Amino acid sequence: MTGRFTVTYRVRSTAADIDARARAIAVEQSVEMPLAAIDDETVLSGIVGTVDGVTGLGDGLFDVRVGLATATVGRDAGQFLNMLFGNTSLHEDVVLHDVAVPDTLVDLFGGPRHGIAGLRHRLRLHGRALTASALKPQGLPSERLALLAERLARGGLDFIKDDHGLADQDYSRFADRLRACAAGVARGARATGHPTRYVPSLTGNLDQMRAQAALAREEGIDCVMLAPMICGFPAMQALVRSFPDMAFFAHPSLGGAARIAPALLIGGLFRLLGADAVIFPTHGGRFGYSQETCRRLAGNARRGDDGMKPALPVPAGGIALERVGEILDFYGADTMLLIGGSLLLARDRIVKETERFTRAVANHTPSQDRADGQ
């Protein structure tokens, strides 16, 4: 745990102020006190943040690169987030833009345990994009959700996940829902012969999530979802370590509010913590992420040059069936398309509509303009 890692903050500032702002951020994110009050040479040389560069981007925006001591992270993912953006998050004109994760932290957090290859292996599926949908609305009893799960599975989907609103509510307790939906998906999968996976959403505190993951494992489930910004980075770190056989899907809930660049938070940090698949709102849906943001996010998730496995990008958030071709052209085959509401609108025809989705993905012929630039 020696050495430093470089964090890039995107700061709105005047040119006259930017050098002072940069130094202030370097101090705030390390010792958080006046340097004149520090008499310890080791702290001054080894712990205080360094300004490694300032780049003007025009229009009053600057990228400030700060070197932080790796030793300050300890072994905790929460402390890593604290070091990256704890107090500086309180400055409204600063975005946490990027971080160059050093090898020691790659080794510590480990990234995806399964990644794209592991997810494909489970589905015995190579060469085409993957498909997913979500069980909703919350408020339905478990048996209704299980029936929906079965019908979606009969449509040939690869993954069927809980809506992130499904938690452990009285109208559908986690354990009941898990058993019912796992059985529903299994019935559908037997009908098609395709090994569709059910992905339950883990919620609550670490004790509760751990018990839920153990229950899922007992039911033969090998994929789970969580929302890192809701459960906290430390809980995710612990779960990924405790359940190395599980593939983890990361949900972006609360993640958009964090003034952390989505490409970094969802594509980068969630993967670093072990997400095998990262769900995010794609451009052109209900949310405002740009094409460029989505391209960078998918690129970060699929990186394979940093000692960690690539994670599967999962564009979602209001994809209409008609957009499957365009979306696949943009993201390429190492992608999972998550379509929820657009399938559910078919109501009684949902198996057929789901088949239309899974066929559209299976029969897609790649075109140009790939997100990963391949």
The answer to whether residues 213 and 175 touch, using CB atoms and an 8 Å cutoff, is: no
Measured distance CA(256)–CA(289) in Å, rounded: 10
Number of residues that bind a copy of itself (CB under 8 A): 89
The piece of 34-42, 176-184, 190-198, 302-310 that touches a copy of itself (CB under 8 A) is 34-42
The piece of 211-219, 251-259, 303-311, 365-373 that touches a copy of itself (CB under 8 A) is 251-259
Q: Is 176 in the site for a copy of itself (CB under 8 A)?
A: no
Measured distance CA(176)–CA(245) in Å, rounded: 23
Whether the CA torsion 103, 109, 114, 116 is positive or negative: it is negative
Question: Is residue 177 exposed (0-12), middle (13-18) or buried (19+ Cβ within 10 Å)?
Answer: buried
Supply the DSSP symbol for 273. Answer: T
The answer to whether residues 69 and 88 touch, using CB atoms and an 8 Å cutoff, is: no
Q: Is 257 in the site for a copy of itself (CB under 8 A)?
A: yes
Closer to a copy of itself by CB, 64 or 227: give it: 227
Q: How far is the CB of 359 from a copy of itself (least distance, A)?
A: 21
Measured distance CA(189)–CA(156) in Å, rounded: 8
The piece of 161-169, 179-187, 302-310, 357-365 that touches a copy of itself (CB under 8 A) is 161-169
Out of 8, 13, 131, 203, point to the residue binding a copy of itself (CB under 8 A). 203
Q: Is 170 in the site for a copy of itself (CB under 8 A)?
A: yes
Measured distance CA(305)–CA(295) in Å, rounded: 17
x/- mask, a copy of itself, residues 313-352, rule CB under 8 A, reads ----x----------------------xx--xxxx-----
Closer to a copy of itself by CB, 38 or 106: give it: 38
Q: Is 33 in the site for a copy of itself (CB under 8 A)?
A: yes
> What 3-state DSSP class applies to 128?
coil
Out of 6, 50, 104, 138, point to the residue binding a copy of itself (CB under 8 A). 138
Measured distance CA(238)–CA(243) in Å, rounded: 9
Closer to a copy of itself by CB, 116 or 236: give it: 236
Asked if omega into 313 is within 30° of 0 (cis), the reply is no
Q: Is 136 in the site for a copy of itself (CB under 8 A)?
A: yes
Whether the CA torsion 10, 13, 19, 22 is positive or negative: it is negative
Q: Is 28 in the site for a copy of itself (CB under 8 A)?
A: yes
Q: Is 169 in the site for a copy of itself (CB under 8 A)?
A: yes
